[in-house]
Every structure is written in C-alpha cells, then in structure tokens.
Amino acid sequence: MQWMKGLLGAAVAAMIALPAHAADYKDEYKVSTVLGTPFPWGIAAEEWVKLVDERTNGRIKMKVYPGTQLVQGDQTKEFTAMRQGIIDMAVGSTINWSPQVKELNLFSLPFLATDFAATDAITGGPAGEAVFAAIEKQGVVPLGWAENGFREVTNSKHPIRTPDDMKGLKMRVVGSPLFNDTFTALGANPTQMSWADAKPALTTGAVDGQENPLSVYSVAKMDTVGQKHITLWHYMNDPLIFAVGKRVWEGFTPEDQEILRQAAVDAGKVGIAAARKGITAEDPSLIEEIKATGAEIVELTPEQQKAFVDATRGVYDQWAEKIGPDLVKQAEESVAQSRK
C-alpha cells in the first residue's frame, strides 16, 4: 500500500507541475482592430499574431478581427468590451479608448506633439508609463505601442491654409468630445461618426471633409470621394496600444505573458515603421504618390501652423485640466527635451 501512496503522490505532484496552457488556454484568442491590412494598424496586429504563434510553437492561437466587427462596428465600445471579456485582446487607438480612460485624451491635445521625435518622447517617457498605469487600473493590460500616424485634414471644397479656411466646413470626426471642441474652435461644423460610416458620408457629400493619416487616405482611396485638398498640419498623432483583457492575461503563465509582451513591442516597431513610410523628408514617396492622383497637398509654414495653435489654445488649456495637469506637464517636458 505504501508504494501505491508513493505513486499517487508523484502523480499529483506531476499534475500540479503541468503548465497552465496544457488545459486552460483557449483554442483562439480574438484580437479586435478598427483597420486591417494593408493599413499600418492591421500590419501591426497581424505581426503580433505571427510572432506569438512562432514564439509559442503554435500553442497560443490569435486571430485578428478588423473593422471592429466584434463590437458591431462601434469603435468607441472596444475598450469596454475587452474589459468585460467580450474581446480577448485588441490593438486599439488612444482616441477610441479615451471615453473610458481620460488620460488617453493626452495624445489628442491639439499641437502637443507635431513631429515623430515628440511622439516617441511621450510614449517612451514618464507620461507614457502613467498612461499605461491608468489603462491597467481599468482592467486592461497594455503591452506596447504602435502608431496610426499624424492625422491630416482633407476636404472637397478648397485648400486649408488658415483657420478661416475651416469656417463652415462639415467635418467628420471620431467619437471624442475633444475633437468636437477642437474643430468647433476652428469654425468648422464637426459631425461624429464611425469609420464605417465616414466614407459613405463623404461620397454623398453629407460631410465635406475628415482628418486621418495619409496611409489611411491612400489605402482607402479617398481621392475617389472628392477629398482632393489635403493640409499637412500634424495637429495630433494617434498612437496605438497592444492590450489584453485582465482576466485573459491572468490565464497565461508568466513565461507566456512575457512572450506576448515582447511580441507586442516587436510588432509595434513594425507597425510604426509602416505608419511613417513615405511621409518623411528622407522618404516622401507616399506624398508623391498622393499628389499623382491630382490631390493638392498644402504643407504649412511654421507661421501658418502657429495660427492654428493659437486658435485652439483655449481647447488645449481646458482639456489639460480634465486630463490631469501633472500628466500634461510630464508630456510637455518630454516634448521639450526631444527638441534640444
């Protein structure tokens, strides 16, 4: 009998030592995104899926569901759905998650970060760490950064060079009160709608213009819906965040958590490179490609950009108080350091 007890004890010990993934992992983890490939957003998400698959030898299966189809196309509900466990994971926009995490409005402050160095300084500095901590308090675990890009303004009516040129334009904006306030301050008539509804509205003329990165403009062929006037004003960048719902995250072993996190960091670098491709002084190929469609691209001078900064300063100050003055100050200090 004693030898049987010994065997039983050994068997129990072996079962306890088995890694959690042997029995507890899902057959598939759903990853929500607004945009799929070939947009940089989708490229980042697909790279994450690929790297995790490779680094776990297929033990962790993830699948990207673009178009926010997991939340019936309402991108502002994505964060809540992940927190509630309806969505396992997401590569999401700081804009779309800002209604639930007020600190994420930091990135939408008009003209806070107007170049890539400033963006990187914020995400890679104390403000970025504070934003991740705020997200985790809401029941979602952030893992890494990607990028949608600088949101440039386009319209079907005329070139935009001064705030006066915005007056009266019907502009599609995302579902964020800060965007409403910014475009109202510039004299435009903002209309909130999802990306799924935006292109049809531009096609019919229900709205005159919109704001999005040039990569989105190009892939979505927005020149075909009358968006022939583009102004590069760099008024805000839209970082993306790789994240996992907390309950899902806690189901992974520490080793697999580290694989997921590092894969997100590495995929983020791929996504950021894709978002910045063709729009720099060193590589203006995407800008040239868009010009070839017949679109007119206005690049603001520093003096012209300052007029927009001045026109939206009241919105900036008002929202800095809502977001948190200390967090905004941290971001501003990082931006200042990036320019030295």
Res 11: pLDDT: 44
pLDDT of 5 higher than 60 = no
262, 196 in Cβ contact below 8 A? no
Q: What is the pTM of this model?
A: 0.91
**287-336, pLDDT tens digit by residue?**
999 999 999 999 999 999 999 999 999 999 999 999 999 999 999 999 99
Q: Could you tell me which of 291, 246, 288, 311 has the C-alpha nearest to residue 83?
A: 246
**20-66, pLDDT tens digit by residue?**
444 589 999 999 999 999 999 999 999 999 999 999 999 999 999 99
| C-alpha to C-alpha distance for 70 and 87, rounded to whole angstroms | 7
Q: Which CATH architecture has domain 152-236+283-338?
A: 3-Layer(aba) Sandwich (3.40)
Res 24: pLDDT: 86
Q: Could you tell me which of 93, 89, 92, 106 has the C-alpha nearest to residue 52?
A: 89
**Lookup result for tokens 């309402």:** 74
**119-135, pLDDT tens digit by residue?**
999 999 999 999 999 99
Orientation angle between helical segments 254-276 and 40-55, nearest 10 degrees: 150
* CATH level 3 topology of 25-148+238-276: D-Maltodextrin-Binding Protein; domain 2 (3.40.190)
Q: Mean pLDDT over residues 8-17, rounded?
A: 42
Distances (CA, A) of 142 to 51, 112, 123, 161, 254: 17, 23, 12, 38, 15
Domain spans in the chain, listed from the N-terminal domain onward: 25-148+238-276, 152-236+283-338
**210-243, pLDDT tens digit by residue?**
999 999 999 999 999 999 999 999 999 999 999 9
